[in-house]
């Protein structure tokens, strides 16, 4: 892959013929069967013999399975998706042993995603037509957007969702055009009242796509609950529920793509918070609204789009007191209830709108991090002492707080640098000392 080029996937809908649909369904089943048999073989080898089996051994097992009469139907589909299933299983175990993910689980016929992956040797690409192995006619693809000029697909993934829609994902090499460099920067405070509040004062309305269709979804789910298990009517009702879920997900994804693209195109620096979405979802009163907001999806889009288009993304730590810090003087007040949308600073008397104030503090911290090349996390070090650091002082200056000179006493403790810590966290903590505002900083020095 050339310099500056990336691998990019383009997803399209297609409409298979009855023969193509039958063959693809058979391929999906064979992929699932091979994955489960290989997972069972690897688990049994470890349980019985404490022996690890890797991809080459499972590939040899696949050859033996094809020769047996019991699994001879595996020869009726292309061998490439079956080999790719074994590679995916190997990747899943690698992630498990590296503690990046959980232990691989068996694929279910009803709940698992139906997909098959074809590499370059298992499909034909000519004059904009895609023909898969074992098929005579090309797929009827709806080219909703053009592929990059002179693009040559390297991998093709065919899938079918729960709503019965067929998709083909084409992986090609592309070189995104870099946007002109700009001086604009934006801090983003994510929330539920407004999906995003920008440091410029703009508020992005929360579309609440899930709430809009909640009535239709509830009716469809009640109808599904009344159907007899295993009946055709139950399958039809389940399809209706899936269609509504797909509609909600598609509209939400489209909205987030447009928002993230606009933010990346307009700003050179984008600063967001590291929100603990998984922990926040444990709040039963807010879980549905948080899921409908899809903060994690928006962050993921910003990450790869900033990398594509030459922008910088800074993620400040979740413990930064952005909502409680005065963006005018830097004074940190006590806890602020979620219902309090505006508050007045006791130090300078400034009136703040909660989310806009937080976005301004997030931007200030992100600009300091961008300039100094460190992370932001307001947390005391184990020794309890405060540390002076250039990056921490930059954060303090960015929010307009006077910075004590090196060696100056602050709150009875000397601001100094501890060279013994191999991992100290950078942040800025404001506190009141004898009627004046000072800054206590913690530095991360590796």
The residues annotated as belonging to the active site are 189, 273, 355
Report the DSSP pairing between strands 312-316 and 269-273.
parallel
Report the DSSP pairing between strands 194-198 and 141-142.
unpaired
Number of Cβ within a 10 Å radius of residue 84: 22
CB 287, CB 281: distance < 8 Å: yes
Q: Is 100 helix (H, G, I), strand (E, B) or coil?
A: coil
CB 348, CB 331: distance < 8 Å: yes
Nearest-10 crossing angle of helices 18-49, 55-67: 120
Residues 248, 216: Cα–Cα separation, whole Å: 11
Number of Cβ within a 10 Å radius of residue 98: 8
Q: Is 176 helix (H, G, I), strand (E, B) or coil?
A: coil
Strand (E) or helix (H) holding 6: strand 6-14
Residues 258, 280: Cα–Cα separation, whole Å: 25
Residues 224, 237: Cα–Cα separation, whole Å: 5
Residues 398, 365: Cα–Cα separation, whole Å: 7
228 secondary structure, DSSP code: P
403 secondary structure, DSSP code: -
416 secondary structure, DSSP code: B
Q: Where are the beta strands (DSSP E) in 30-165?
A: 114-119, 123-126, 129-132, 141-142, 155-160
181 to 3, 199, 265: CA distances (angstroms): 20, 20, 10
Report the DSSP pairing between strands 194-198 and 129-132.
unpaired
Of 329, 376, 320, the closest CA to residue 352 belongs to: 329
395 secondary structure, DSSP code: H
Of 280, 305, 304, the closest CA to residue 292 belongs to: 280
Tally of residues, the chain: 446
Strand (E) or helix (H) holding 224: helix 214-225
């Amino acid at each position: 892959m050339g310099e500056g080029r990336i691998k990019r996937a383009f997803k399209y809908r297609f409409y298979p013929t009855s023969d193509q649909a039958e063959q693809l369904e058979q391929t999906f089943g064979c992929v699932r069967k091979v994955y489960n048999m290989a997972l069972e073989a690897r688990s049994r080898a470890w349980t019985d013999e404490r022996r690890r089996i890797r991809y080459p051994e499972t590939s040899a097992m696949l050859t033996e399975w094809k020769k047996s009469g019991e699994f001879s139907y595996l020869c009726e589909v292309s061998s490439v998706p079956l080999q790719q299933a074994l590679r995916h299983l190997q990747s899943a175990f690698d992630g498990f042993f590296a503690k990046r993910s959980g232990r691989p689980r068996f694929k279910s016929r009803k709940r698992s995603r139906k997909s098959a992956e074809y590499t370059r040797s298992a499909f034909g690409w000519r004059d904009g037509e895609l023909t898969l192995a074992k098929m005579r006619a090309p797929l009827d693809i709806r080219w909703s957007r053009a592929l990059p000029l002179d693009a040559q697909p390297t991998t093709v993934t065919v899938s079918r969702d729960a709503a019965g829609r067929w998709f083909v994902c084409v992986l090609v090499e592309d070189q995104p055009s870099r946007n002109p460099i700009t001086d604009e920067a934006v801090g983003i405070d994510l929330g539920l009242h407004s999906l995003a509040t920008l440091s410029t004062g703009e508020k992005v309305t929360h579309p609440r796509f899930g709430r809009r269709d909640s009535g239709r979804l509830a009716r469809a789910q009640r109808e599904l609950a009344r159907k007899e298990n295993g009946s055709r009517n139950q399958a039809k009702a389940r399809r209706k529920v899936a269609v509504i879920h797909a509609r909600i997900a598609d509209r939400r994804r489209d909205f987030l793509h447009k928002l993230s693209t606009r933010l990346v195109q307009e700003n050179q620096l984008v600063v967001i918070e590291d929100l603990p979405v998984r922990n926040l979802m444990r709040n039963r009163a807010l879980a549905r609204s948080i899921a409908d907001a899809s903060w994690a999806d928006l962050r993921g889009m910003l990450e790869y789009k900033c990398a594509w288009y030459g922008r910088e993304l800074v993620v400040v730590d979740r413990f930064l007191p952005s909502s409680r810090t005065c963006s005018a003087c830097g004074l940190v007040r006590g806890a602020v209830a979620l219902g309090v949308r505006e508050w007045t600073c006791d130090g300078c008397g400034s009136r703040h709108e909660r989310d806009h104030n937080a976005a301004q503090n997030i931007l200030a911290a992100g600009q300091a991090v961008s300039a100094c090349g460190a992370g932001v996390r307001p947390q005391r070090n184990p020794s309890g002492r405060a540390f002076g650091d250039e990056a921490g002082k930059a954060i303090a200056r960015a929010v307009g707080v006077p910075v004590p000179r090196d060696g100056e006493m602050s709150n009875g403790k000397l601001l100094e640098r501890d060279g013994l810590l191999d991992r100290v966290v950078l942040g800025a903590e404001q506190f009141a000392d004898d009627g004046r505002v000072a800054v206590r900083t913690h530095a991360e020095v590796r």
